[in-house]
């Protein structure tokens, strides 16, 4: 405080304005009063002593700091995921796929920063950018309103369409480094409007929305086509012991309107390793008029043990390809060796942050949370005139949650490809690791 007081005398007009601005921001965001004077209060004292603010303004801001409730709530955060991977494949298989499969390397899978918050406790927003890959594209850019009569909550902007359990679970909390093969059918993020809410004591959730097919910056323009209508409903018939015992059931559906004269569709998928740009299964592009995609989802948590599964199918309207149908599924189990449970959130029908019983530390006993998992996934992109191949993966994983915000992951993936046009049946072996932190 003495050091701050010495600044009061020579404080310039510009400095006073700057300090006043910071004081106003902190005053509006302040919560209950602390036992000792906060930095904000000390700044206000300096401004008053130097006659840079009036007595009435000083009293107003001081009251906000000490006891006023904030009308605004703002939070900043982000995530960093640094990956390494090594992929082993026969030279002939690599050549058939055009090269780029066999090798090893590193990448930042995700590098995101966000700002989120609310105004007057009923309007909320989020702005999140992802800098991985060299671009700064949107990974959520929306505003919304809570407690809207008959609708629950409304969200407008660029965000995930309500589809699939694994897609709705944040990449910070998924069990394996990459989502399962059928995730290729998920529409992910687009620009639109969505209504959603929870019911039955948050044991049930529903969401429905209309979206333009948009790029990574939320932009989309077309001749009244390329619009998705998407809905999801979930329920938790069992939810006990704060989620340590839970059963999840869900259904997602999206109708994608397209113009066959102008719009093409292509389904293609990596072998659950993002570091390679090679898509083992690939339909190639073909003209489409529409697509109907459904997802059936189920999960169960029994203490440290959990299982999760989804089945997806896409029915494509295409005269050029004789209306093909494609499908995929995954099933996996995980177990916490240290006794924790996956954090199921029935109000949103998704999984959240794992909290270790004892955080890892070099200074005191604590091992963090150790989790092992195994997954089998399948994607069939062969039907009618399309021979995109059938890809099957077996994944083994180990996760070390050092604390709720830091995780290390190790995955082994065996990827087997069959029946793709102009590509001989073959397989690849993948070992990959991730260091992850979010804040």
Residues 46 and 166 in one domain: no
Q: pLDDT tens digits for 164-196?
A: 999 999 999 999 999 999 999 999 999 999 999
Q: What is the pLDDT of residue 33?
A: 41
Q: What is the pLDDT of residue 70?
A: 61
Domain count, the chain: 2
Return all residues near 364 (Cβ < 8 A) that are at least 6 apart.
none
How many degrees, rounded to 5, is the angle at CA 171 between CA 167 and CA 174? Answer: 80
Residue 171 located in a structural domain: yes
Q: What is the pLDDT of residue 26?
A: 45
Q: What is the pLDDT of residue 262?
A: 81
CATH number of the domain where residue 262 is located: 2.40.160.10
Residues 204 and 237 in one domain: yes
Residues 323 and 392 in one domain: yes
Residues 409 and 428 in one domain: yes
Q: pLDDT tens digits for 145-167?
A: 999 999 999 999 999 999 999 99
Average of per-residue pLDDT across 102-109:
97
Comparing 59-63, 114-118, 363-367, which segment has the lowest mean pLDDT? 59-63
Residues 314 and 375 in one domain: yes
Beta bridge partners of residue 423, listed in sequence order: 420
As a whole number of angstroms, the distance between CA 262 and CA 323 comes to: 17
Closest of 430, 242, 262 to residue 346, by C-alpha: 242
Return all residues near 420 (Cβ < 8 A) that are at least 6 apart.
280, 281, 282, 382, 387, 388, 389, 390
Domain that holds residue 33: 2-66
Q: pLDDT tens digits for 193-218?
A: 999 999 999 999 999 999 999 887 87
Residue 124 located in a structural domain: no
Return all residues near 137 (Cβ < 8 A) that are at least 6 apart.
129, 130, 216, 217
Other beta carbons within 10 angstroms of residue 213's beta carbon come to: 18
Residue 121 located in a structural domain: no
pLDDT of 6 strictly over 90 = no
Residues 334 and 229 in one domain: yes
Residues 184 and 248 in one domain: yes
State the number of CA atoms in the 13 A half-sphere of 21 facing the CB. 6
Residue 134 located in a structural domain: no
Residues 272 and 168 in one domain: yes
Average of per-residue pLDDT across 100-112:
96
Torsion angle in degrees (nearest 10) through CA of 93, 98, 102, 103: 170
289 dihedral zone (left: phi>0; alpha: psi -120 to 50; beta): alpha
Sign of torsion over alpha carbons 160, 333, 235, 341:
negative
Whole-Å CA distances, 423 to 87, 93, 177, 351, 419: 18, 7, 27, 38, 8
Give percent above pLDDT 70 in the chain: 89
pLDDT of 317 strictly over 80 = yes
Residue 303 located in a structural domain: yes
pLDDT of 36 strictly over 60 = no
Comparing 9-18, 419-428, 429-438, which segment has the lowest mean pLDDT? 9-18
Q: How confident is the model at residue 8 (pLDDT cuts 50, 70, 90)?
A: very low
Residue 394 located in a structural domain: yes
Closest of 324, 333, 328 to residue 393, by C-alpha: 328
Residues 88 and 57 in one domain: no
pLDDT of 68 strictly over 60 = no
pLDDT of 32 strictly over 50 = no
Among 15, 31, 66, residue at a domain's last position: 66
User: Parallel, antiparallel, or unpaired for β 245-257 and 227-240?
Assistant: antiparallel
pLDDT of 19 strictly over 90 = no
As a whole number of angstroms, the distance between CA 140 and CA 135 comes to: 15
Q: What is the pLDDT of residue 14?
A: 47
Residues 24 and 101 in one domain: no
Q: pLDDT tens digits for 127-136?
A: 999 999 888 8
Q: What is the pLDDT of residue 17?
A: 47
Check: CB of residue 145 under 8 Å from CB of residue 126: no
Among 32, 66, 100, residue at a domain's last position: 66
pLDDT of 20 strictly over 60 = no
Residue 330 located in a structural domain: yes
Residues 166 and 223 in one domain: yes
Local structure of residue 423 (DSSP, 8 states): B
Residue 135 located in a structural domain: no
Give percent above pLDDT 90 in the chain: 76
Return all residues near 215 (Cβ < 8 A) that are at least 6 apart.
none
What token pair was written down for 310?
Answer: 């989804």
Q: How confident is the model at residue 35 (pLDDT cuts 50, 70, 90)?
A: very low
As a whole number of angstroms, the distance between CA 99 and CA 256 comes to: 33
Q: Give the distance between the most distant pair of CA atoms in the chain.
A: 82
Residues comprising the chain, all counted: 439
As a whole number of angstroms, the distance between CA 243 and CA 302 comes to: 9
Residues 213 and 256 in one domain: yes
As a whole number of angstroms, the distance between CA 52 and CA 23 comes to: 12
Among 31, 66, 101, residue at a domain's last position: 66
């Amino acid at each position: 405080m003495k050091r701050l007081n010495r600044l009061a005398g020579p404080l310039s007009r510009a400095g006073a304005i700057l300090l006043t601005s910071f004081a106003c921001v902190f005053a509006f965001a302040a919560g209950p009063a602390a036992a000792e004077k906060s930095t904000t209060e000390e700044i206000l004292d300096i401004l008053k002593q130097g006659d840079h603010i009036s007595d009435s303004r000083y009293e107003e801001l001081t009251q906000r700091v000490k006891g006023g409730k904030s009308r605004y709530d703002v939070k900043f955060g982000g995530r960093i995921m640094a990956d390494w991977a090594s992929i082993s494949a026969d030279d002939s298989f690599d050549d058939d796929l055009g090269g780029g499969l066999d090798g090893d390397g590193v990448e930042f899978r995700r590098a995101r920063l966000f700002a989120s918050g609310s105004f007057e406790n009923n309007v909320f927003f989020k702005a999140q950018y992802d800098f991985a890959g060299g671009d700064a594209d949107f990974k959520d850019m929306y505003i919304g309103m809570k407690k809207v009569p008959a609708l629950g909550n409304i969200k407008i902007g660029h965000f995930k369409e309500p589809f699939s359990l694994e897609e709705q679970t944040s990449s910070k909390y998924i069990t394996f480094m990459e989502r399962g093969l059928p995730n290729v059918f998920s529409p992910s993020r687009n620009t639109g409007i969505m209504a959603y809410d929870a019911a039955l004591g948050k044991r049930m959730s529903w969401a429905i929305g209309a979206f333009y097919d948009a790029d990574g910056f939320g932009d989309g323009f077309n001749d009244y086509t390329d619009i998705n209508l998407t809905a999801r409903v979930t329920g938790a018939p069992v939810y006990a012991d704060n989620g340590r015992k839970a059963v999840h059931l869900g259904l997602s559906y999206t109708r994608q309107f397209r113009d066959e004269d102008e719009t093409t569709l292509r389904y293609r998928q990596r072998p659950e390793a993002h570091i390679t740009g090679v898509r083992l299964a690939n339909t190639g592009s073909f003209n489409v008029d529409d697509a109907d995609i459904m997802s059936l989802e189920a999960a169960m948590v029994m203490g440290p043990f959990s299982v999760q599964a989804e089945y997806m199918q896409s029915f494509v309207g295409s005269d050029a390809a004789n209306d093909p149908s494609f499908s995929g599924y995954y099933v996996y189990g995980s177990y916490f060796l240290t006794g924790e449970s996956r954090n199921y959130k029935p109000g949103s029908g998704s999984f959240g942050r794992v909290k270790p019983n004892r955080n890892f530390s070099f200074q005191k006993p604590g091992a963090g949370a150790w989790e092992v998992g195994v997954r089998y996934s399948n994607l069939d992109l062969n039907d009618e005139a399309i021979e995109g191949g059938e890809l099957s993966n077996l994944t083994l994983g180990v996760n070390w949650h050092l604390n709720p915000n830091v995780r290390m992951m190790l995955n082994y993936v065996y990827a087997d490809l069959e029946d793709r046009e102009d590509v001989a049946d073959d397989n690849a072996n993948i070992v990959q690791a991730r260091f992850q932190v979010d804040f």
